Chain A
């Protein structure tokens, strides 16, 4: 009977945590591989319009981003409420777009320089005048491949 009594007064056997590091490492590697660091914080309102006929923007290293929209609350005192262009971390004028594209293109490896896409992340409230000017600048520096970044959804939601 000694055996049974012994078991009775013992607590639950401890769960082995030896494999915990393995599990955590597995998760860690997953998140490490899917992580992309955010390199610039948004200084403009950026509610994208919806579209249904969209294509995915593969390969982030081949994309140059241009943000357009009204400056957010904290910048409105200095920059006003008209839509502005944001390049990396600062506001810019239309005529700076060309040199920005050239500078960004020069940073990329040689073999990618001809396959770059310019992603235009434009707030849905912006006017086309500014976009037309940007497109003109892009044409001047021969950055012809553009992507109007949108959310996936019914395009007619934009009109409300």
Chain B
């Protein structure tokens, strides 16, 4: 019995159509944008019988937002646009003189050093979320400004830039290892202590 020569050739003319169909499907379902936002750590939930740590009043920078979106900073009314500067001044005050890189006024009534300085943020239940985010943004901005300044002085580039590169998963690992120490060093110079829990004072 004579065999047929080879398999018959499959018509590939409709290949493009099939591919187009798939392409259009993925085009429609695609969302490329990645989300971005303010990263924050919440304080751990402590059992109520535990004693909260005692912190000196002068090391706490209190920020209160009322229901109308007005700010009470260290018991004084303040505009949100002035908040960043006030927070920066507080953080790098350096009253006890241990902070060599601080350029503050060393006011004895303000924070001892950046490691001890705590920003306490309280809000009313009626405060609008957008106001709260603006305040958070300004406070994080104050930290970033100081960190950027020190990073520029030590490594000649912005801290936020270095951190973004460090956190980017596409950065090669040898670059990341190098950045890790630098990022850590800057973070330790101005540790972010932004409390949203109730802090007791004496």
Say if the beta carbon of A51 comes within 8 Å of chain B: yes
Among B26, B35, B39, residue most surrounded by chain A Cβ atoms (within 10 Å): B35
A127's contact among B16, B38, B128, B144, by CB below 8 Å, is which? B128
With contacts A59-B169, A142-B45, A156-B81 taken as known, whether A149 is within 8 angstroms of B37 at the C-beta atoms is yes
Count A-B contacts at CB 8 Å.
Answer: 170
Question: With A and B bound together, what is the CA distance between A50 and B124 in angstroms?
Answer: 21
Please give me the residue from chain B that is nearest to A63 by CB atom. B35
With contacts A57-B35, A147-B37, A149-B36 taken as known, whether A24 is within 8 angstroms of B129 at the C-beta atoms is no
Q: Point out the residues of chain B lying under 8 angstroms from A106, CB to CB.
A: none
**Closest chain B CB from A155 CB (angstroms):** 4
What class of interface size applies to chain A in its complex with B? 35 or more
A contacts with B: majority SS: mixed
Q: Point out the residues of chain A lying under 8 angstroms from B164, CB to CB.
A: 55-56
Q: Point out the residues of chain A lying under 8 angstroms from B36, CB to CB.
A: 54-57, 149-150, 152
**Closest chain B CB from A36 CB (angstroms):** 6
Q: Point out the residues of chain B lying under 8 angstroms from A156, CB to CB.
A: 80-81, 134
Say if the beta carbon of A77 comes within 8 Å of chain B: no
Contact check, A25 vs B34: say whether CB atoms are below 8 A apart: no
Interface residues, chain B, with chain A CB atoms under 8 Å away? 12, 15-16, 19-20, 22-23, 26-27, 29-32, 34-45, 65, 69, 80-81, 123-134, 136-138, 140-141, 144, 160, 163-164, 167-169, 196
Which 7 interchain pairs have the tightest Cβ spacing?
A129-B125, A158-B130, A124-B130, A31-B26, A149-B37, A155-B137, A139-B45
